[in-house]
Amino acid sequence: MALNQLSIADAHAQMSAGKLTAVQLAEACLARIAAREPDVRAWVHVNADDALAQARARDAEPRRSALHGIPVGIKDIIDVANMPAEYGSPIYAGNRARTDAACVAALRKGGAIILGKTVTTEFAMRHPNKTRNPHNLAHTPGGSSSGSAAGVADFMMPLGLGTQTGGSVLRPSSYCGVVGFKPSFCVINRAGVKPNSESLDTVGLIARGVDDIALSLPVVTECAAPAVAAAGKPRIAFCRTPQWPSAGAATIAVIEAAAQTLARAGAHVTEFALPPAFDAMAAAHGVINDYEAYRALSHELRTAPEKISASLQPRLPRWAATTIEAYVNAQNTVADCQRQLRDVFRDYDALLVPSAPGEAPVTLNSTGEATFNAIWTALHVPAITLPAGTGPAGLPVGVQLVGAYGADYALLACAAWVHAALR
């Protein structure tokens, strides 16, 4: 296996055993970027000299964490000191961050190698940028964490940081065939992240294995992983969700096959329908996002409205018209569903739900839809997408597991069992 294809777990083990250096791993990742970036276009900025200098420094000191010497790509709405901070918008062309975001500072503290900044859509919203799906360059990689998902999928780096306001970690991870994890709300600190929606924005992790996520989360949170009881046969609620009519044939086939496979492997799989209150959750997410995102763009709307994309412009009047009464009602809907969801997780370890409507669409003018992710983002619960099959074009299709709020490591233990059963 080429060094750039190593998982975090394997690279960590080899470095700990003295069989691999941070410089060797960084060089392999940089070589892959040089070879593939003209096609995939995952990066806004890569500083090879700085990355190698970081790697040499890490090789000269004791190991700090499981991410010591591991190359990481950072989505370009997350600040990295002395690197571009352009947020996918011409308004910020040439802008550079003075300081590291809290999550980047935590990565540095753990000895990770910051390779550079990965492509984001405009302000982590819907306007697509230049990145292509590495499995087929005519297809979208998803968004808004486009570059982080594509870069991990194409073996440019083993770990990418993304953010999710609707489905911006899980959808591109599903489209690109990697593991995307959105932790419980605010588990990863957001200081230094360009705000979109303060009630929804969540920093997430993208890697190629569940173990890689489990190794990374304590480092980026600067908090030791809690003890989790050994995972037995998980209790899985197969939940089609109120959004099921939006599922394409590929998603339906993959998730139904996954439910059958998990049951044969010994999981307790039960068909489950969410309570009626959840029918209003998608609309509630939309109202919260509209109200908060419009106000988050106050500076840009005042100083450079002409530089806001043509795809975002038509949405602004609706966002501006969102009333505080509608916003409060939406927040109350979320709070009610959060209470009901706590009861659901007394009987189940995870919900099995779709990750995306289907495989990545054949377009570079859209990043797809957050149909099956947005309600879980609004509910603040952890969610993870796992590669589970392919669609008619041969592109990846994922399945999503959702856990109880704060039970991030329990969900990761369940996901590890599920991932192994599905492979």
Question: What is the DSSP code string of 127-175?
Answer: S--S---TT-TTS---SSSHHHHHHHHTTS-SEEEEEESSSTTHHHHHH
Return the H-helix or E-strand segment holding 291.
helix 281-296
What is the rounded distance in angstroms from the CA atom of residue 146 to the CA atom of residue 168?
8
Strands 113-118 and 179-182: unpaired
Three-class SS of residue 355? coil
The per-residue pLDDT for 296 is 98
Q: 11 CB contacts (<8 Å, ≥6 apart)?
A: 3, 20, 25, 69, 70, 158
**Closest by Cα among 242, 284, 238, 278 to 261:** 238
Residue 230's pLDDT is: 67
pLDDT score for 90: 98
Which is it for the CA torsion 11, 16, 18, 23, positive or negative?
A: positive
What does DSSP assign to residue 21? Answer: -
**What φ, ψ does residue 315 adopt, rounded to 5°?**
-80, -20
Name the β-bridge partners of 97. Answer: 81
Give this prediction's pTM. Answer: 0.98
164-184 b/e with 16+ CB inside 10 Å = b? bbbbbbbbbbbbbbbbbbbbb
The pLDDT value given to residue 228:
83
Q: What is the pLDDT at residue 229? A: 73
Provide the number of structural domains found in the chain.
1
State phi, psi for 259 to the nearest 5 degrees: -60, -40
Strands (E), 246-349: 268-272
Radius of gyration of the chain (CA): 20
- E-strand ranges in 198-283 read 202-207, 235-239, 268-272
**Angle between the N-to-C axes of helices 408-422 and 210-221, in degrees from 0 to 180, rounded to the nearest 10:** 160
Looking at this protein, which amino acid is placed at residue 38? P
| Cβ atoms 115, 157 nearer than 8 A | yes
- Residue 11: give its domain's CATH number: 3.90.1300.10
Q: Which residues are catalytic?
A: 75, 144, 168
Rounded to whole angstroms, the Cα distance separating 209 from 335 reads: 32
pLDDT at 231: 65
Which residues span the domain enclosing 76?
A: 1-423
Q: Which two tokens stand for residue 277?
A: 């209150």
Q: What is the pLDDT along the chain (423 residues), one digit of tens a residue?
A: 899 999 999 999 999 999 999 999 999 999 999 999 999 999 999 999 999 999 999 999 999 999 999 999 999 999 999 999 999 999 999 999 999 999 999 999 999 999 999 999 999 999 999 999 999 999 999 999 999 999 999 999 999 999 999 999 999 999 999 999 999 999 999 999 999 999 999 999 999 999 999 999 999 999 999 988 766 899 999 999 999 999 999 999 999 999 999 999 999 999 999 999 999 999 999 999 999 999 999 999 999 999 999 999 999 999 999 999 999 999 999 999 999 999 999 999 999 999 999 999 999 999 999 999 999 999 999 999 999 999 999 999 999 999 999 999 999 999 999 999 999
Strand partners, 116: 46, 73
**Residues 13, 16, 22, 25, Cα dihedral to 10°:** -20
Predicted confidence at residue 227, as pLDDT, reads 87
Distance, in Å, from the CA atom of 211 to the CA atom of 341, rounded to the nearest integer, reads 27
Backbone CA torsion sign across 18, 22, 27, 30:
positive
